[in-house]
Every structure is written in C-alpha cells, then in structure tokens.
Structure 1
Amino acid sequence: MPDAEAVRAGQAAYTGWILKWVYDGLVLGFSNHRLWRCPTARLLDLYDANVTSNHLDVGVGTGWYLDHCRFPDPEPRLALMDLNENSLAFAARRVARYRPETHRRNALEPIRFDDPGFDSVGLMYLLHCLPGTMADKAVVFDHLRPLLNRGAALFGATIVQGSAPRGPMAQRLMDLYNAKGVFSNREDTAEALDRELAARFPRHDVALVGCVAVFRAFAD
C-alpha cells in the first residue's frame, strides 16, 4: 500500500479556499490551455460523449465537469466519491440540483459499496495525484471494477510525462508539484496507462493530447 502521508499530500491541496477561488481559474482556465495543452473543452467533450444517467465521479475536484456536461436524463443518478471532504462538499453543493450521493473513500483501498452499480465512472485528473508508479495506481481500476455494470464506461484524463510533449514552463510546474507531493507523475506515461487498462478491460483507448492522457475503458 502507498505511504499514508503520500496519499494525504496528493489531496491536501484541495482546501475550501483553493476550490472556491483558485482551482477553476488556474487549472481549467490557464494550465489546461497554456501548459498541459489539453483544452478544458476537450475534456468536457469526453464527459458529454461518455457520461450516463447512472454515473459515479471519483476524485471530484470542484465538480465543474459535472456542472457543465450534458447528462442524457435531466434527473440522473449521480454519486460523488473522494477522500477529500472539502472536494466532496464543494462539488455536492455545485450540483445540488441532481441530489448527488456522496461517498468518502480512498480509491487506493478496496471500496466498501453495497448500492447498485454504475453505467459510467469518471476519473478526471485523479491518477497523477496518486503516489507510486502507474502499476501501483492501477489498483484503482481493480477497486472500481466491481462497481461497474456490464458495458459501463470508465473514462478520464491524467497528466503524464515520458513521450508527452511539454514546454519548459509545464515541466517546471510538474517538477514543483512533484516536489510538494501534489503530483506524483514523474514515471507516468501514456504507454504505461495503456498497458494497465489493457490488462483489465476488454476494450479501451488512450489518446495523448498535449501532456494529458485521455482514456476510456469498457467493462465486460
């Protein structure tokens, strides 16, 4: 199991102040476009194409994508799962119109869950915050698979290094985030993510957009 302090560091930055005043403008408005070179609109398209009316979001951030995506039904079943209580509360308020379920869980540990499964699961910008190699992080897929209904889509995006193109400013910021424990993606590559998904799902795809690996996988 990953070191508990490393797990804590990966989610500790999401304080109420950061979520309210900084995250959307810095990450969605600036970093995605200028540094990671994966526009937020591209990631919103990922949600629009794969989200269902029976959806679980894991690592919810501010809930921006859930607030802006097009659910197939105006009254979806929506569940939020995160280790960080601030993120859970903030996202739940933002999408309160959907009456979301909230579940405080560490996805790196087996997930206790007795409710019905889901037809889609979102993992937006979660993996690069988790400690360890991609093989270590992929245990998240193992823990989520029991929550997926037959044919369900698991989708998301994560910032990677390796062969991913990135400018000097993007590299400096990644190095800073890794030094502080906010990121843990020094060894993360799109190729490693592809291998871990291929080992677990009958169908999957990974696309590199800037230095972001955008992925989907489908339960059997």
Structure 2
Amino acid sequence: MDRHVAQQSPVAAATAIYSASMLKVYDAFVLGVVSPAVWRCPRRAMADQYDRHVSERHLDIGPGTGYFLDRCRFPSPRPQLALLDLNPTVLERARLRVERYRPTVHRHNILQPYDLGGLRFSSASLNFVLHCLPGGMSGKSALFDHLLPHLDPGARVFGSTVLAHGVGHTRVSRAQLDLLNRKRVFHNRDDSLEQLEAELERRFARHEVSVRGSVALFEATV
C-alpha cells in the first residue's frame, strides 16, 4: 500500500490513537476498566468467543496488543496465525506478544480489498473494531466483503463492537460514547443493533448476536 495514501485515509486517522504509549495501558485500562465498568462487558466475554471459535488457521483483524491471542486456546500448538491492521505500531506490538506462533503480519486498510498472498483461514476475529471505523454501519461493513475471499467455506467470523442504539446505556456510558465520538476515537453515533444484524444477515449463512451492556458480541458462519 502507498504510504502516503495510508497516512491520509480516514481509517489511518481512526487507528492513529493506538500509539506505543496507548498500547502500554490498553489491557489494564480499556479491557480491564472501561469495558466492564463503562460498557458493562467484561473482557472474559470476549475471551470466551476466542476459545469457542478460534481455529488453527486464524486471521485477527485489529489485534490491539494481542491480549486475547496470547491467552486463547488454539486447537493446534502451531496455528497458522495472521495479523491485519493499518497501524504498524499495533502490528508490531501484537506480533511480539505472540511471536511463539510465528504470525504473518499484513498492513492494509480493511475498508479496501487487500491481498494476503493466497492465505486462507477458517476463523477471523474483529474485536472492538467496527466502532472505531469511519462511516455508517453499511459503509464500514464493507470490511466483511473484503474479508470473505480469504475465508474457507464454513469459516467462523466473530467479534464485538460498542453500539449507540439497540443496546443498554447508562448515563456514564452515553457520556463516554459522546465524548469518544467528539474526539473521533469512535465513529458509531448511528450504529445500531438492527443495522449490525442486517449487515451480517446479508453476508453470512448463519449469524448470532448477543448483547452485554452497550456491547454487541457477534458470531457468523460463512
């Protein structure tokens, strides 16, 4: 990908907040405090998704610090693991954390088609990714269209996202949602449970969405 284009894209701007200093506190603050206390979704709920669905050929989109990959139970001691993100700092942090699996690293804009060198996967995850992407739910869901060519029939796609509508909010979570959107950390003012369900139904043979607080946890089968 052209470096200038990547730096100027809205997706690049959305991922820029994940600097080395931010990633140092991400696990403790975002996953350990904000997720359970503000969004009312403990990180255990997301970890459980990994343990249920991660396969021996797994693609992790937006891997963050690699927290869940580091802890999940892969069905094989030597999985084929790939990391996909536009932010090189994120990719390097996650790569080092799961270096024992020798992951491949792919820097791409997930809202555009991308080439993974012919690699195919039987599972893919998008944890806390959708609410960070610019645009409405229909536009950002193009990431599923770009993901599908890299998945085997029957592959599992799973993840989580904070929604603005169709989920439970408290005064605190609503205020935090508004603040993060004003700061352009989140782009989910209009994202709803109904929209998410519709986009998944449009693309996958089966899907299931559950709600924990302000978070939708989704699972889908190709």
TM-score range normalised by the length of the shorter chain: over 0.9
Report whether the alignment pairs 1:154 with 2:171: no
> Which secondary structure does the structure 2 equivalent of 1:175 belong to?
helix
Q: How does 1:62-77 map to 2 (within 5 A)?
A: 62-77=65-80
User: Conserved in 2, the CA contact under 8 Å of 1:9 and 1:182?
Assistant: no
Residue 51 of structure 1 is matched in structure 2 by 54
> Which secondary structure does the structure 1 equivalent of 2:161 belong to?
strand
CA distance in 1, matches of 2:92, 2:152: 26
CA distance in 2, matches of 1:84, 1:114: 19
> Which secondary structure does the structure 2 equivalent of 1:216 belong to?
strand
CA distance in 1, matches of 2:18, 2:59: 20
Residue 97 of structure 1 is matched in structure 2 by 100
CA distance in 2, matches of 1:76, 1:70: 10
Residue 18 of structure 1 is matched in structure 2 by 22
What are the superposed Cα offsets for residues 106-147 of structure 1, whole Å, 9 maximum, x if unpaired? 100011222231000010011000011110111000000000
User: Conserved in 2, the CA contact under 8 Å of 1:33 and 1:39?
Assistant: yes
State TM-score, norm by structure 2.
0.94
User: Conserved in 2, the CA contact under 8 Å of 1:158 and 1:213?
Assistant: yes
What are the superposed Cα offsets for residues 23-67 of structure 1, whole Å, 9 maximum, x if unpaired? 111111001110111110011000000000100000111110000
User: Conserved in 1, the CA contact under 8 Å of 2:111 and 2:146?
Assistant: yes
> Which secondary structure does the structure 1 equivalent of 2:203 belong to?
coil
Equivalent pairs, count: 215
What are the superposed Cα offsets for residues 142-173 of structure 1, whole Å, 9 maximum, x if unpaired? 00000000100011000001121111111111
User: Conserved in 1, the CA contact under 8 Å of 2:106 and 2:116?
Assistant: no
> Which secondary structure does the structure 2 equivalent of 1:161 belong to?
coil
CA distance in 1, matches of 2:81, 2:12: 25
Unpaired stretches in structure 2, ≥5 consecutive residues: 1-7
Task: Please state how far the C-alpha of 1:9 moved relative to its aligned partner.
Answer: 2.7
CA distance in 1, matches of 2:209, 2:113: 25
Question: RMSD over aligned Cα, in angstroms?
Answer: 1.0
CA distance in 1, matches of 2:198, 2:171: 28
CA distance in 2, matches of 1:208, 1:189: 12
State TM-score, norm by structure 1.
0.95
User: Conserved in 2, the CA contact under 8 Å of 1:58 and 1:121?
Assistant: yes
Residue of 171, 193, 197 corresponding to 1:194: 197
Percent of matched pairs sharing the same residue:
46
CA distance in 2, matches of 1:215, 1:163: 14
Letter in 1 for 2:46: L
Residue 37 of structure 1 is matched in structure 2 by 40
User: Conserved in 2, the CA contact under 8 Å of 1:58 and 1:82?
Assistant: yes
